[in-house]
Structure 1
Amino acid sequence: MATDFTPHAYQKRAAKFIVRRKRCMLALSPGLGKTSSTLLAEAVLRKHGHVRKTLVIAPLRPAQMVWAQEARKWKQFEHLKITLLHGPKKAERLREEADIYVVNVEGLQWLIKEAGDTCPFDMIVLDESTLLKSPSSKRAKALRPWARQVEYFVELTGTPTPHSLEDLFGQIYLLDGGESLGKYITHFRSRYFRPVSQRGHVVYKWGLLPGADELIYERISHLCLRMSAEEYLDLPDILYHDVTVRLTSKVMKQYKSLEREMFAELDEGLTGESATQLLAMSAASARQQCHQFTGGAVYHEEDKSQWHVVHDEKEKALVELLESLQGAPVLVAIQFRHELPRVKAAIKKVTGIDPPAIVGGQKLDLDQLQGDWNCGRHPALIVHPASLSHGANLQGAGIGVIWYSLSDNFEHYEQLNRRLHRQGRKEPVHIWHLIAENTVDKAIRAASAEGGEKDSQQSRLLSALLKYRDSVLSI
């Protein structure tokens, strides 16, 4: 049942920013209500006749789960007809009258081809603008003509620079056509960055020039409103718990063989001219095998759809942890396909219930599942962070997240943790990491704890791997 929407002061500020600036980015932490703030602005613009049709471009799960659900929650927005342009009837739905049309980012090129060169919308909302951060991507190029035609173009994101400040160029270009940061990314790089890793004329990595970050932020300050949840919300604390998992000596012997291969590749990368790039290229395979191994299985080299189990120590640790929680609901995050059946079995062993899973390729009624979770009907929910890092509201239930395997994508790591750590919670959020002792898990955990958006995820991880290697070899 819909209730009255009483916006917080920071939500009013965000809505006013959209109405006044017309073309802007809201860089708001998860939990600050980007969706409701945008709906509020859209309602004001609709009331005064500035907007009749709005297009929302979003990742698939937010497109399916968030926008219509958020509108139904509030009396001020429940009258809006929101149409999802996805599935076999999407062309038919496009021809129907609606207030807000929602398309997943994968369907954007289809939509533009179907609707034609003239944009039929008055307002475009790009929900999670980092998906179009690459100015050379086909989707970004396809959207540019429509972006220029509409008066209101709004970008929403929680992390506008997941890898580096380079990520801002493409997003800002869609807003102002290059007025703030230039029309060409090559000029943008030469003005604000310097090569830190290159081979010949090919630059693999750029680093900021001294003081360039302040200059960039100043150039885009009129376009961007940035707000942190810690500044505006009285959020409960996040409590982190590292659960050590000890592998047997026999298993460790197998693991160390893989780890030596990883160290050898790291050393080989360090001998070249461009250490960071070579490390990134060479360490991935061996590191991924080590990462898979700590989760309990490794894929076959000849057939990546097959795997063989090497240990069950994390499953045992998961069972013990779940038993200690005595039925308190938790999210359980996995990284690899081979973990899903074993994690399901471990959870069922404790709860007696086959847990649902939100992972790639699973067909679920996500709206219903989210509602059931927030009502406390599931003692555990298995998720892959890439499938649920953006756009789900899960703070109604669950005391925390258990990372069965650690994620080396630190944006996904933070976003998933914030699915629970957001407005509406009254209790602390617990984050458990199952860490296989004396393994690569230690390095990944160290990198995830560092924070800092200026450093790329790759650099953080490689730095942690090198520190871990040095600690092992010094013993």
Structure 2
Amino acid sequence: MTVVSTIPAPPALPVWMQAIENTLKPFQKQVRDFIRTRHASAVWMTMGSGKTLVTLSALSYLREPGHILVVAPRNIAVDTWPEELFDWDIPLQVTSFNITPPGMVGKNGRRSKGQRNLKPAEFKTLVDNIGTDKPGLYTVGSDRFTDLVQRIIYAGEPRVRPVGCARDDGVIDLDAVRDAFSEIEDRYAALCLDRVEAAPEAERGAVDDQYSEIKAALGQARLVKLKPGTASGGAPTVVFAHRDPKKAKRLRAEQVRHDLADVITAVTGHPFRVAVIVAKPDYRQWPFPTVIIDEAQGFKNPQSLRWKAMIAVRPHIRRLIELSGTPTPEGAHEIWPQIFLLDQGDTFGTSYTDHLATWFTPEQVVQNQVTRWQISRWNETQLHQAISHLAISAENTELHLMGFGPPITHRVPLSADLMNAYQAFARDALLSVLLTGLTELRERAYDQSMAATADMFAVTAAEDDARRRAQCSGLDKSETEGAVSEARQRAIGATGDTAVARAAYDAVTLDDASAHYIEAVNGGVLRNKLLQFAAGAVYIDLDKGADGYAKATSLTSRPTLQLHSAKFDKVIDICDQHFATGGDGSVLIAYRFDFEKTILIDRLRRAGYLGARAYNGMPDTKKAWNRGEIPVMLVHPASAGHGLNLQFGGHTLIWTTLPDSNEHYGQTPARLNRLGQTKPVVVHTILTENTIDMAMPGALSDKQASQERLMQATRSEFKSSIAGAIAAVNRAHRQ
């Protein structure tokens, strides 16, 4: 008798997983496997290649325990990921740290008609409840990620009880105080206002500043625990914690603690005392073992707060996935911060400075500081090979988009008087920048001379004393260094030779400032001012009480001097021609400066486009655009450059002022050129003649080459096998 061994069939996939499996193309499945086999991976896929769905498919097979966090540009966080889960019926609870859930019930018991940004108190409550919520997917905008990390690591002790469970002994607990915290803040603010009004008129300004600082400190404080009442009958104590020792000290003031205790007692109906401690960070409280960074190029700056926050919690992340379509929009030097997040320095080392020195050579040096780096083609090739174990790049070879029609450039002239004014403005702005640089150089020379002539024995003694006091007070490393630095500066100021320092200050001339600062500021303050002039207005410094303030803020929140309307007139002409000739769809306008938005909305509405509005980041606005309910919509590339599907609303884009970012320049038109677009996208660019505007297109095109080389080099080694697999599928389909 022959015994036949049978291998049990693998369990059937859930319906939603099988639907995704049937949809994924061969190259997408191989990218998914790349993610599944690594605890840290970078996926670089072109637009329309399905980065989100591929990642969700990988996670559905991995079934990692615990919460999942998606960090992404705001639009992707609040719209793309929730929409993808909904479209594929993925049974995973999704929560946004940016906006309210649809149909949220307010305190009045009514459901909200639309979604809105979370209020600070709602954000705090949401974060505090993470530990008691069932595992799910959370999304947070990149701009709010640092706040999220800070809120978690300074959370203090765990909650007294699970959410929704009342204590059975009838004693009020910390959660009851926490639930009433927003009312406590309001009541305390009202109390502060009463104190200011009661102060003598001559002192009101100082008293107002004092209470403003206290209110700000209270808003950033945490309720961490509730100490029980004493055996002698003393009231229980509410303990606040603040991560800033100086702000904690303000809240520790006897009068402040007394006032807070009275307010809390009035709100809760129970007597309380108040204590304040300095909060210590606890990174072990990080609740997200799986983190996805969508559009990871947003973490390309190692000096940014969001990058530092991610590094702080990185040891407590088990699986990190980076997604991007443009990993290095400004050049290959941007890759180190993203790779360091993945392997914490295994590939390129732990020093960004050493990495740059190893792979790059200085291209521009200003004041002994390298401001621009370049890389040889050989080094760039080696760099790409070094990250092949972490990064995979793929493109959808079957994606057929409508593409772009011939670009249209409009050159608007300035009158002779305006052109003379522009040239004079350029000279004056340059002089202003140089004078600013002169002041900075002089202050630096003064500080260096003071340090060189100071009594170093006294300075060292002051530093040692400050370090000893800090250690006795239990300050952490950063706080200790801050206290030591302050003590050092005081000692230098007390013992340095001010006469010598003043002579060094006066010795610095405008020629020194020109030599050291001109190159650095051409891409900064000066250049920005000239772009403002070309756009039609410039921001000005004007106090609220000054004459002309009301006129300068009639259309803008920031004082603005309007100079010409050449670009605004051209926008109206383009819109009129578009709709007069029966142009299909609405018109999208991309602006750079906030005054362009507000002035254009006013001009458009006066021209008859009453439905013109600015994109506010809400899913409801995107849906209204795609339904054709918004004839003209204004967007800023920084808020509408990623994850925004606008292809159903129109196919016409107008650039009023081009951005500096190659990433924004490429991503914004791609909001219209997506699957579902039925017409070639037409891009209008408005440039002001004989101004800095004219140099913008060339500067952006120079940034394209490095980006494309990186994408090509990291195309998966299975590129030929992908083509073969697709051909096989096509043959089977034809048969």
TM-score w.r.t. structure 2 length? 0.55
Change in Cα spacing, 1:153 to 1:242, as seen in structure 2 (3 Å) is: same
Of 135-144 and 374-383, the range deviating more from structure 2: 135-144
* Residue in 2 that maps onto 1:467: none
* Residue in 2 that maps onto 1:462: none
* Residue in 2 that maps onto 1:54: 68
TM alignment of 1:123-272, pairs within 5 A: 123-144=290-311, 146-198=313-365, 202-228=369-395, 231=397, 233-239=399-405, 240-260=407-427
User: Which residue identity does 2:126 align to in structure 1?
Assistant: K
RMSD of Structure 2 on Structure 1 (CA): 3.2
Equivalent position SS for 1:427: coil
Tell me whether 1:422 sits opposite 2:439 in the alignment. no
* Residue in 2 that maps onto 1:333: 590
User: Which residue identity does 1:174 align to in structure 2?
Assistant: L
Pick from 348, 353, 367 the counterpart of residue 610 of structure 2. Answer: 353
Supply the distance in 1 between the matched residues of 2:41 and 2:375 (Cα, whole angstroms).
24
Q: Which has the higher strand share?
A: 1
User: Which residue identity does 1:99 align to in structure 2?
Assistant: G
Supply the distance in 2 between the matched residues of 1:180 and 1:127 (Cα, whole angstroms).
22
User: Which residue identity does 2:592 align to in structure 1?
Assistant: Q
Kept in 2, the 8 Å contact 1:314–1:434? The answer is yes
Kept in 1, the 8 Å contact 2:409–2:685? The answer is yes
Residue deviations 1:334-387 (CA, integer Å, cap 9, x gap): 1112212221133334553232213xxxxx461111111122221111111112
Supply the distance in 2 between the matched residues of 1:33 and 1:272 (Cα, whole angstroms).
54
Kept in 2, the 8 Å contact 1:373–1:394? The answer is yes
User: Which residue identity does 2:533 align to in structure 1?
Assistant: F
Tell me whether 1:436 sits opposite 2:602 in the alignment. no
User: Which residue identity does 1:16 align to in structure 2?
Assistant: D
Tell me whether 1:109 sits opposite 2:152 in the alignment. no
Change in Cα spacing, 1:204 to 1:415, as seen in structure 2 (3 Å) is: same
Of 180-189 and 87-96, the range deviating more from structure 2: 87-96
Kept in 2, the 8 Å contact 1:125–1:156? The answer is yes
Supply the distance in 1 between the matched residues of 2:625 and 2:65 (Cα, whole angstroms).
35
* Residue in 1 that maps onto 2:630: 378
Deviation at 1:198, TM superposition (A): 3.1
TM alignment of 1:88-107, pairs within 5 A: 88=122, 89-94=125-130, 95-105=132-142, 106=144, 107=147
Kept in 1, the 8 Å contact 2:611–2:630? The answer is no
Q: Which has the higher helix share?
A: 2
Of 379-388 and 57-66, the range deviating more from structure 2: 57-66
User: Which residue identity does 2:674 align to in structure 1?
Assistant: R
Q: What is the percent sequence identity of the aligned residues? A: 29
Change in Cα spacing, 1:7 to 1:379, as seen in structure 2 (3 Å) is: farther
* Residue in 1 that maps onto 2:537: 297
* Residue in 2 that maps onto 1:81: 93
User: Which residue identity does 2:610 align to in structure 1?
Assistant: I
User: Which residue identity does 1:279 align to in structure 2?
Assistant: E
Count of aligned residue pairs for this structure pair? 442
Structure 2 residue runs of 5 or longer lacking an equivalent are 1-15, 99-117, 156-281, 438-510, 544-556, 708-735
Supply the distance in 2 between the matched residues of 1:273 and 1:286 (Cα, whole angstroms).
14
Change in Cα spacing, 1:277 to 1:219, as seen in structure 2 (3 Å) is: farther
Supply the distance in 1 between the matched residues of 2:698 and 2:523 (Cα, whole angstroms).
17
Residue deviations 1:205-253 (CA, integer Å, cap 9, x gap): 3322451111110000121122356x55222222311012223333233
Supply the distance in 1 between the matched residues of 2:387 and 2:529 (Cα, whole angstroms).
42
Supply the distance in 2 between the matched residues of 1:120 and 1:410 (Cα, whole angstroms).
35
User: Which residue identity does 2:149 align to in structure 1?
Assistant: Q
Equivalent position SS for 1:91: helix
Structure 1 residue runs of 5 or longer lacking an equivalent are 359-363, 456-475
Equivalent position SS for 1:101: strand
Deviation at 1:132, TM superposition (A): 2.5
Deviation at 1:259, TM superposition (A): 4.1
> Highest Rg: 1 or 2?
2
Supply the distance in 2 between the matched residues of 1:249 and 1:145 (Cα, whole angstroms).
56
Change in Cα spacing, 1:277 to 1:226, as seen in structure 2 (3 Å) is: farther
* Residue in 2 that maps onto 1:27: 44
User: Which residue identity does 1:406 align to in structure 2?
Assistant: L
Residue deviations 1:166-221 (CA, integer Å, cap 9, x gap): 21112111111222112222331222112233357533333224511111100001
Supply the distance in 2 between the matched residues of 1:281 and 1:40 (Cα, whole angstroms).
47
Supply the distance in 2 between the matched residues of 1:317 and 1:390 (Cα, whole angstroms).
27
Equivalent position SS for 1:37: helix
Supply the distance in 1 between the matched residues of 2:329 and 2:524 (Cα, whole angstroms).
20
User: Which residue identity does 2:646 align to in structure 1?
Assistant: L
Supply the distance in 2 between the matched residues of 1:17 and 1:348 (Cα, whole angstroms).
51
Kept in 2, the 8 Å contact 1:15–1:37? The answer is yes
Equivalent position SS for 2:524: helix
Kept in 2, the 8 Å contact 1:123–1:151? The answer is yes
Deviation at 1:322, TM superposition (A): 0.6
* Residue in 2 that maps onto 1:66: 80
Supply the distance in 2 between the matched residues of 1:274 and 1:34 (Cα, whole angstroms).
48
User: Which residue identity does 2:323 align to in structure 1?
Assistant: L
Kept in 2, the 8 Å contact 1:199–1:273? The answer is no
Kept in 2, the 8 Å contact 1:198–1:274? The answer is no
Of 175-184 and 131-140, the range deviating more from structure 2: 131-140
* Residue in 2 that maps onto 1:308: 561
Supply the distance in 2 between the matched residues of 1:199 and 1:254 (Cα, whole angstroms).
30
